Structures are given as C-alpha cells and as structure tokens.
C-alpha cells in the first residue's frame, strides 16, 4: 500500500470560472482536465494559470506512474488561491493582487490547517508572492516558483526555502553583453510602476548598466494604463534626452503597451531600438486592443528570454506532444516556451518531487510526510539533482536559487516573425551572435544605430560658473538686507516713523522677501523634483506674504483716515485685528492651495536640448487645474491692489500714504510678467526661468 504525501499548487485560481473554494482558500472542486475555450481565453491571465496548472498536474501524474521516482509513494495535489475564494474576472491588465490575502489567509492555511502539504509549486505574480513566499519560507516549507521573476526572491536571507526554474537576478548583465557588442553607451530604462518584478528588475538593470560603463540617461516608471497622458509626457522626455536605445522592464502586457504607445508618438524607426526583459504581448488580441498596426509598431523589438529548451530532446518532444493531445490544443512551440513558459512549471514540479525522492531514500517517507525533514530542505537541497529537464541540461540552481542558464536575444521581424540573434552564457561573460543571422531593425536596416552619444554639454547654475556666483551673491545680499530690516523693525518698533509703517505687516512683508531671496539658492546646481516643488512653494508664499501684508497695512490705514475719520484707540485696534485675521485667512488659503497642488500634481525636472546644449527646467507633472488655481488665487490678490491704491490715495497724512509705493510695485511686477511671457517664447538656458 502506498504512502500519501501532498504537494500544494498556489496560483490566482479566483480567476478561473467554475471553481469552488473553502474559507481557507483551498480549491474544493476539480479543475478541468481539458481546455475549454468557452471557459478560459487562450491569450489571457487565466490562460497562463490554466495551462501552467495543467502541466504541473501532468508532471505529478508522470511521477505517480513512474516506478523510479518516489516508489511506494502517491503524490496528491491541493490547490490554493492567492487572490480570494470568490471568482473575479481578471481583465487584460492583471498583474496580481497586493498580497495581503495570500500572506495572511492562504499561506497561513497551508502552514497550519493543511499539514499534509510538504512542498509547494507556485505560479504567481511577484507582487502577490512576496508575502506568501516569505511566510512559507520562514516556516521551512520548500516552494518552487515558475512565475515570480522579481529579483527580490534572489535574496536568500529572506527567501531561503524559495527557488525557481527561471532566471531572477542578473538580467542586466546579459543585456550589457549585447549593448557592448554594439558599442552602445547611452540608454533609457522604463520600468512598470506598481509591479514588484518590473520595478526591482528595472533597478537591477539600471545599476548593472551603470556599473559596466553604460550611461542610463533617463530612468522612469510608467503605469500599465490606457490613459495616454503618462505616455505623452514620457515621449517628450525621451525625445529631449536624445537616447536611441530603450529598455523596458515589466510584465508582457506592459512591454506591449509601452512599446506601442511610445512608438506611436514618434519613437520608432531604424534610429531607435527597443528591448525588454519580457515578450511584448498583451493579455488578449493585440489587433483588438491596439489596432492593425501593432505588429508594425513593435517591429525590431528585442526581447531577452531565458534560454529556450532544446526542442529536439526526446523528453521535450514527449511532454509537448502529450500536453497538446491531453488538452486538445495545437499550441505552438513558441507559445509553449515563451508566452506560457510551461517548461518551467513542469520542471518545477519534477525537481520538487525528485528532491522528495532523495529525502525518502535517505530518511524514509514517514519523516517527509509529517514535515520532519523540513529544516534541511532549503533551496540548496534541490540545487543539483542531476535532472536533465525541459528548461536546461542539467537543471541546476545558482547561489541565488535561480536557474543557472543564459539568455537568448530574440528580435521581432517582418510580419510577426522572430529572429534569434544570439545568446549569452550562464556566467555572463559574452554575447555570441548566431552564425549567418543578421538583425533587421524597424524599417529594414541591418546596422545597429548610433546611440545618440553626441556630446551635449549640460549647463547648470553651478558655483563654478559666473551665473551661480551671481545668484549666490544676490541671494546673500537680499537675506542680509532682510535680517537688517528685522533688526530695525524690532529694536525701534516704538519709534514714530517705524510705527507709521505698521510693524506687524512690515515684519510679514520682510518675511516674504526673505523667503524669496532664500528661494533663489534653489536654482544653484542641478534640479530635482524636491527643489522644483520648493521653488513654487517659496515664491508663492513670498508673493502672498508681501502682497497680503501690503493690503492689510493699507486697509488698516484707510479704515482709520478715510472710512472713519474719528475713532477711539480701542475701535482702531479692533479694526486692525479684523484686517489681520483676514490677512491670516488669505495666507492659510494660499497654503491650502499649495498643499492640494503638491499632493495632486507637483513639479518635476525636465531636461531640454536647445542649440547644442541641454539645461534643466521644472514643469508640472499633471493636473494643470491645480496650477491654474494657484495662478487665479494670486491673480485676485494682485488685482486687489487696484482699489487699494485708489483708496490709499485719499489718505491725506503723507507718512501713511503708500499709494506711490503701491503703484511702483504694481507697474514693476506687471512689466516683469510681460517680460517673462515674451522671453518664454524663445526659451533657452539664458532666458528660461527654470520653473513654469
């Protein structure tokens, strides 16, 4: 009689129609044994899971039927949903759940409720897996993944019992080999925002390129969204950067969307090269999602994929043919290896069960069945089992628990064909072009384009330049004047002349001027998003403090000398207090608008190239309505000066009549605004105001 052990399958089973679950995320109904196109769309997220689940079950069936592996043992399967126990349509941009449910409910159930599960084969998105994989690893349950490619899982301090039949850490080094072969020195890296794999792989790629002497001119993150606004902004930035080589880091659907959307915005042609860590293939029909020009736009795209299986191998032929027959499909070898990566899932289960076979032969099945051998079954236990699998010969894990293999560079050619350019070795030392293979770029060219590395000097207001020194001196001079004014206003506040200037309002205006002079220092050296935002905040507050101070001071004077000719001291104090409270409310309104603008939009530095040199300026990220709100609010404050001048001119006491100063201030500021509008039509390093 055979002894039973249980292998857990983890995936986003909530996306498959017709399944039933219990409260611990266990799938309690049987999965379909044959593909049904009315239940599962072929090129979709549910298609990924369905076919990978099917081939993992096939591997279990092969072991159960084999007398050589786990003799006297029968392997059962329990499936666990990492996305809940209720069906949910996945859509065309599914990239996994945030992971709270998977870590708290599903992983907890595997650890505590289903103690017959001695190991797990997982097909999960990295974003979802990061929590549950940590829980299972901490509980010493071996977990093999064929779907989570984020570099985070290569950290064995956190994921000692996690390993995978795919590459994880180090794709940047493989890209370096091809870029060096083409003498490329400048690239842009665009990663998928809010996706664990896309984000971390983008960081790893950028760091590796930099360490190998390749300049990452632009590094940005984009959402996988149908909203065109981020792609409009990204296209502008990329064009201004003069970069010709673009590297995408994200899921297949993101790589497809980014390459298409940015290509449609003029970043396509023989002078540009797109490459990525994944196949540019959306979840669904690209012709319906994007249009008939999709294959034309992505022509020339180079994807770096894990070295594909040797399809002439008897084992591959046998598994591939059995799978198609069992599922009643005619899946192409390319879809089997590249789109669905089924070889990885098959090998995942086989390596787990071969490791258990090793444990049974060493210690017996009873210890294995009650998790008595868990403490020794970290990734090193499965590192070299002598298994010649579908993915590699042999399937051997490296020091990070990732499959030790190279990458293949595959280019999208004419009419959807694929050109296998060459490959890297597992040690990441070279790129070998396949004999007789010639790259065909977007418009048919065969020569790798120049990387745009014409030296474009950057101009900044540095302290080593005369412009930076002028800014520093002007700022320091203004700050000293303001501090001196503070001293005079406070020390001689009882002096009749000083009192006539209205000390509280004068202190407020001096504070505004101090902020303005200090903000000048932010223009020194290169711009950052933080500095760009501070410039707007600094000048907005400076303007508000100065003008509300002017208004408050003059309306207090007007109320005393014009509106009410004779008043008691107490009445004058009350009126002054009311105007000062109004002044405070106006300042708080300005601060509130600035906070809303900063939260919803903000500024970002953008590099512009003009007449053979580049310089940085600050532009709004998005939501121009909030920026317009700031303009309108401060415009109203500015306009309020006009009635103030009219009323102030009626103050007969010369010491309290500020109408002349107000007219001078308004005329000067108006002339400055006119100059700014005129100069911005001919924007360059000397005329750009570095914030818009």
The first and second tokens of residue 542, run together, are 């400076």
CB 458 within 8 A of CB 521: no
Cis ω before 162 (30° cut-off from 0): no
- The full set of domain ranges for the chain reads 3-166+310-377, 171-307+408-433, 458-680
Instruction: Please state, in angstroms and rounded to a whole number, the distance separating the CA atoms of residues 111 and 109.
Output: 5
pLDDT at 692: 47
3-166+310-377 matches 171-307+408-433 in fold: yes
What is the radius of gyration, based on Cα positions, of the chain?
A: 34
Instruction: Please state, in angstroms and rounded to a whole number, the distance separating the CA atoms of residues 628 and 630.
Output: 5
Q: How far is CA 381 from CA 129, 345, 364, 394, 427, in A?
A: 22, 19, 16, 15, 22
Return the SS3 of 407. strand
Domain 3-166+310-377 annotated CATH 3.40.50.2300? yes
pLDDT at 630: 78
Tell me the three-class secondary structure of 340-351, residue by residue. CCHHHHHHHHHH
- What would the pLDDT profile of 511-558 be if each residue is shown by its tens digit? 988 898 898 888 888 778 888 888 888 888 888 888 888 778 777 777
String of b and e for 41-67 (b: at least 16 CB within 10 Å)? bbbbbbbbbbbbbbbbbbbbebbeeee
pLDDT at 563: 63
Backbone angles phi, psi at 170, to 5 degrees: 110, 10
Instruction: Please state, in angstroms and rounded to a whole number, the distance separating the CA atoms of residues 312 and 330.
Output: 18
pLDDT at 682: 47
- What would the pLDDT profile of 243-272 be if each residue is shown by its tens digit? 999 999 999 899 999 999 999 999 998 889
Q: How far is CA 389 from CA 309, 346, 393, 608, 637, in A?
A: 9, 8, 6, 52, 74
Query: What's the CATH number for 171-307+408-433?
Result: 3.40.50.2300
Residue 593: partners with Cβ closer than 8 Å, 6 or more residues away: 626, 629, 630, 633
Backbone angles phi, psi at 10, to 5 degrees: -115, 135
Instruction: Please state, in angstroms and rounded to a whole number, the distance separating the CA atoms of residues 35 and 48.
Output: 12
Stretches where the chain sits below pLDDT 50 are 679-683, 685, 689-692
Instruction: Please state, in angstroms and rounded to a whole number, the distance separating the CA atoms of residues 532 and 528.
Output: 6
């Amino acid at each position: 009689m055979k002894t039973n052990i249980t292998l857990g399958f983890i995936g986003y089973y909530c996306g498959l129609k017709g399944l039933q679950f219990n409260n611990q995320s266990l799938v309690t109904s049987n999965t379909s044994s044959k593909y049904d196109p009315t239940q599962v769309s072929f090129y979709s997220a549910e298609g990924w899971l369905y076919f990978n689940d099917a081939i993992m079950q096939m591997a279990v069936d092969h072991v159960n039927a084999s007398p050589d592996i786990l003799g006297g043992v029968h392997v059962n399967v329990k499936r666990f949903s990492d996305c809940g126990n209720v069906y949910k349509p996945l859509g065309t941009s599914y990239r996994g759940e945030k992971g709270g449910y998977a870590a708290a409910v599903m992983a907890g159930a595997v650890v505590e409720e289903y103690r017959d599960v001695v190991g797990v084969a997982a097909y999960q998105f990295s974003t979802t897996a990061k929590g549950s994989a940590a829980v299972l690893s901490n509980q010493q349950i071996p977990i093999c993944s064929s779907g989570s490619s984020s570099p985070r899982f290569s950290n064995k301090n956190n994921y000692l019992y996690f390993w995978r039949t795919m590459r994880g850490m180090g794709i940047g080094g493989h890209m370096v080999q091809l870029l060096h072969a083409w003498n490329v020195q400048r690239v842009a890296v665009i990663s998928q925002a809010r996706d664990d794999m896309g984000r971390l792989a983008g960081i790893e790629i950028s760091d590796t390129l930099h360490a190998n002497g390749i300049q990452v001119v632009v590094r940005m993150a984009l959402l996988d969204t149908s909203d065109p606004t981020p792609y409009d902004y990204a296209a502008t930035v990329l064009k201004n950067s003069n970069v010709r080589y673009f590297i995408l880091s994200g899921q297949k659907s993101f790589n497809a969307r980014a390459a298409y959307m940015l290509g449609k915005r003029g970043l396509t042609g023989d002078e540009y090269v797109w490459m990525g860590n994944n196949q540019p293939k959306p979840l669904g029909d690209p012709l319906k999602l994007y249009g008939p020009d999709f294959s034309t736009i992505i022509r020339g795209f180079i994807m770096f994929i894990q070295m594909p299986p040797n399809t002439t191998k008897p084992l591959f032929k046998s598994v591939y043919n059995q799978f198609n027959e069992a599922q009643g499909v005619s899946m192409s070898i390319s879809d089997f290896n590249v789109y669905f990566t089924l070889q990885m899932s098959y090998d995942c289960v086989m390596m787990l069960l071969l490791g258990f076979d090793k444990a049974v032969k060493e210690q017996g099945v009873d210890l294995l069945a009650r998790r008595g051998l868990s403490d020794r079954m970290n990734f090193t236990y499965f590192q070299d089992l002598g298994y010649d699998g579908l993915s590699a010969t042999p399937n051997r894990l490296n020091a990070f628990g990732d499959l030790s293999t190279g990458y293949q560079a595959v280019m999208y050619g004419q009419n959807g064909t694929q050109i296998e350019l060459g490959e890297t070795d597992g040690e990441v030392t070279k790129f070998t072009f396949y004999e007789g293979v010639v790259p065909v770029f977007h418009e048919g060219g065969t020569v790798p384009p120049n990387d745009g590395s014409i030296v474009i000097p950057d101009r900044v207001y540095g302290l080593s330049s005369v412009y930076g020194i002028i800014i520093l001196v002007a700022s320091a001079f203004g700050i000293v004047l303001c501090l001196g004014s503070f001293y005079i206003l406070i020390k001689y506040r009882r002096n009749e002349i000083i009192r006539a200037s209205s000390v509280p309002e004068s202190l407020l205006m001096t504070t505004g001027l101090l902020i303005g002079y200090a903000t000048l220092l932010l223009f020194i050296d290169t711009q950052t998003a933080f500095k760009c935002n501070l410039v707007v905040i600094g000048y907005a507050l400076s303007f508000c403090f100065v003008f509300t101070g002017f208004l408050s001071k003059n309306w207090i004077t007007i109320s005393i000398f014009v509106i009410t000719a004779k008043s008691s001291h107490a009445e004058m104090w009350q009126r002054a207090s009311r105007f000062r409270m109004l002044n405070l409310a106006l300042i708080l309104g300005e601060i509130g608008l600035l906070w809303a603008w900063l939260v919803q939009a903000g500024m970002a530095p953008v590099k512009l190239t003009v007449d053979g040199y580049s310089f940085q300026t600050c532009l709004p990220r998005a939501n121009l309505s909030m920026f317009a709100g700031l303009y309108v609010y401060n415009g109203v404050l500015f306009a309020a000066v006009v009635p103030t001048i009219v009323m102030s001119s009626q103050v007969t006491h010369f010491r309290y009549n500020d109408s002349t100063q107000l007219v001078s201030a308004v005329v000067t500021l108006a002339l400055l605004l006119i100059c700014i509008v005129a100069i911005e039509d001919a924007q360059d390093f000397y005329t750009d105001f570095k914030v818009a």
